[in-house]
């Protein structure tokens, strides 16, 4: 009837259960990398490669937002891998005059 009887539970009292974290945010303590993070990073880099061609041919600047909630891992690693000029991450909020710094960087 969908329930586990006491006898069945006793037979399987040795059963070990392991939980695996699946999150692209990579924000789970005690792990090097959560399942899904590497796949998300790979896909983001593919997208940046496609956007870069358009940005260069049309001399445009693009702003890319990635998932991550309160964890800037994907944004930071993408910025490093793709050579971004600027990156915002929640762990290190920008200074008050970030707009001026960004405009100066774009005119260099």
96 is catalytic: no
Domain containing residue 83: 6-107
Size of the chain, expressed as the number of residues it contains = 108
pLDDT digits (tens, 9 = 90+) for 63-91: 999 998 889 999 999 999 999 988 999 99
The total of structural domains in the chain comes to 1
CATH of the domain at 76: 3.40.50.460
Dump pLDDT digits (tens) for 16-51.
Answer: 778 787 889 888 888 888 899 999 999 999 999 999
φ, ψ dihedrals at 105, nearest 5°: -65, -40
Cα(48)–Cα(87) distance, rounded to whole angstroms? 14
Catalytic, out of 25, 38, 96, 97:
25
Asked whether residue 81 is domain-assigned, the answer is yes
């Amino acid at each position: 009837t969908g329930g586990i009887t006491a006898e069945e539970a006793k037979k399987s009292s040795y059963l070990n259960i392991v939980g695996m974290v699946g999150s692209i945010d990579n924000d789970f303590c005690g792990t090097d990398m959560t399942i899904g993070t590497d796949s998300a990073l790979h896909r983001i880099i593919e997208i940046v490669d496609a956007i870069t061609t358009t940005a260069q041919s049309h001399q445009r600047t693009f702003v890319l937002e990635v998932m991550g909630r309160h964890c800037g891992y994907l944004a930071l690693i993408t910025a490093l891998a793709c050579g971004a000029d600027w990156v915002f991450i929640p762990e290190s909020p920008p200074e008050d005059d970030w707009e001026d710094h960004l405009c100066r960087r774009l005119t260099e």
